[in-house]
Chains A and B, each alone.
Chain A
Amino acid sequence: DQQVKQNSPSLSVQEGRISILNCDYTNSMFDYFLWYKKYPAEGPTFLISISSIKDKNEDGRFTVFLNKSAKHLSLHIVPSQPGDSAVYFCAAVRGSRDDKIIFGKGTRLHILP
C-alpha cells in the first residue's frame, strides 16, 4: 500500500532549466510534507518542507507546491545545476512527532550539461 507515490523513476533536465518533481499521496490525514535528496553512499538530506496550511514554500532555488484537493505536491528547482543530480524522495507525515514519516520510492534526477 503505497501512500506516497512518485510515479517518475527518473527525470533528465538541461542545466539551467527548471526541474519539476512530482509526488501524489493517498492518505488525507497527512498534513506535513518533506523532500529529501540522496547522493550515492550517503544518507538522505532534508531539502524543504511544507505544512498543509500553506500551498507554497520557497527556499532559494527550491520551491515546493502543495495542492491538497488533488493530494499532489511538486518540487521545483530553478535553475537546475549539475550538483542537483541525485535521487529525490517525497515524504509525508501526520504532523505528530510520534508518527512515522512515509517515503515515496524516489525520482532520480539527471542534470545534463
Chain B
Amino acid sequence: DAGVTQSPTHLIKTRGQQVTLRCSPKSGHDTVSWYQQALGQGPQFIFQYYEEEERQRGNFPDRFSGHQFPNYSSELNVNALLLGDSALYLCASSLGTGPSPLHFGNGTRLTVT
C-alpha cells in the first residue's frame, strides 16, 4: 500500500522562475493538502483540494496555485519565485468526513537562488 509520494525530492530554481511540484496521495485517499515548512518553523497550510476543487486556502499569495486530477493526484505551482519561497513543501492526503489525520509525503526541498 503506497503512501504519499512527492516529486521531485530536491529542486533548485532561480528567482523569477516558475516551479511545479507533484503529489500522489495514499491509496484510497481523496483529499490533498499542501504545506510549506520553512527552516525552524512548523508546516504552514497553503491550500487543500477535494473533488478537483480548491476547498480551503491559507495566507499565501496568488503566485501559489494548484490542481487536483481525477485520480486525486495534485500539483502545486509557484510563479515568480522569490528567495523566501525556499522551503520544504509537504503534501498530505486524507479521507473521510470530519477531521482525520493527515498522511504526509517526504516533501520536496525547494531552493531559490
Contact = CB atoms under 8 A, between A and B. Distances in A.
A and B: bona fide binding partners: yes
B97 A97 contact: yes
Interface string B78-101: 000000000000101010111111
Interface in A93-108: 93, 95-106
B11 interface: no
Interface in B18-77: 31, 33, 35, 40-45, 48, 50, 55-56, 58
A65 interface: no
Interface in A52-110: 89, 91, 93, 95-106
Q: Which of B4, B41, B102 has the most CB of A within 10 A?
A: B102
Contact of B4 (A43, A100, A101): A43
Given A43-B4, A45-B104, A103 B42 contact: yes
A97 B98 contact: yes
A42 B92 CA distance: 12
A100 B33 contact: yes
Which bucket holds chain A's interface residue count?
A: 20 to 34
A19 interface: no
B97 A104 contact: no
Interface residues of B, number: 30
Given A96-B98, A98-B55, A43 B42 contact: no
Q: Is the interface of A mostly helix, strand, loop or mixed?
A: loop
Contacts of B33: 100-101
B106 interface: yes
Nearest to B42: A103
B15 interface: no
Nearest to A90: B42
A12 to B, nearest CB: 18
Interface of A: 4, 6, 32, 34, 36, 41-46, 49, 89, 91, 93, 95-106
Interface of B: 4, 31, 33, 35, 40-45, 48, 50, 55-56, 58, 90, 92, 94, 96-107
Given A95-B99, A97-B96, 10 more contacts: A6-B42, A36-B104, A43-B4, A43-B104, A44-B90, A89-B43, A97-B31, A101-B45, A103-B44, A104-B42
